[in-house]
Homo-oligomer: A and B are copies of this chain.
Amino acid sequence: MPNFRSLPAPLQNLTEALSRLPGVGKRTAERLTLALLEWPEEQLCSLGENLIQLRQRIHPCRQCGNYSEDELCGICTSPQRQNNIICVVETAAQIRVIENSGSYHGLYHVLGGRLSPLNGKGPEDLRLPELRTRLQTGSVSELILATSPDVDGEATAHFLTQEFASLPLTISRIASGIPAGADLSYADAATLSMALSGRRKIN
């Protein structure tokens, strides 16, 4: 690799490691490496130690599967959350997306994936027993299925609906349609079809 010929080994290693991050190519990784070299030593060490300790300090919340420092996460233990609604997501990262929208105040349940027969993912790979236990305590009145609106996500939502149909609770599915601010002219057929079939009466 002539490009890296004269980059010292530690910088080369760092560049290679950073280029494994999503959206970071070789050029960006090199730019980040050179920027890190300009950081004060104290900040560099603090970032390094944070990375090393990350796995020891962060683990899934025993109840919902969210990232947590303690046995239960900040959402499960918060007295300000509505504890009669559970929103089912595929990954803990998706909780962040919903939290950032500021439009949901209930609890979550991380499935840890989605049904995907082609990738060998079946119901036994999801955190279903944990969800069943939570729903059977009786204090939950609504289960929102927020798996992605694609083939596997829809199949997972369908499976969950059947799985918990016998329980005395409302099961709902997040709406799919034209994204806010988007131009209808550029909507794809699948999205348009979902937007039409999910139409609501205005009055």
Give A contacts to B, CB under 8 Å.
2-3, 5-11, 13-14, 17-18, 20-24, 28, 30-32, 34-37, 39, 41, 43-55, 57-58, 66-69, 73-75, 78, 92-93, 95-96, 99-100, 102
In the complex, are the beta carbons of B48 and A5 less than 8 A apart? no
In the complex, are the beta carbons of A8 and B99 less than 8 A apart? no
In the complex, are the beta carbons of B99 and A34 less than 8 A apart? no
Distance of A28 Cα from B18 Cα, bound (Å) = 14
Query: Which 10 interchain pairs have the tightest Cβ spacing?
Result: A48-B51, A48-B52, A48-B48, A34-B93, A6-B74, A8-B69, A17-B47, A10-B57, A41-B55, A6-B75
Distance of A21 Cα from B18 Cα, bound (Å) = 12
Distance of A92 Cα from B6 Cα, bound (Å) = 12
In the complex, are the beta carbons of B3 and A54 less than 8 A apart? no
Distance of A45 Cα from B55 Cα, bound (Å) = 9
Partner of A10, one of B17, B48, B54: B54
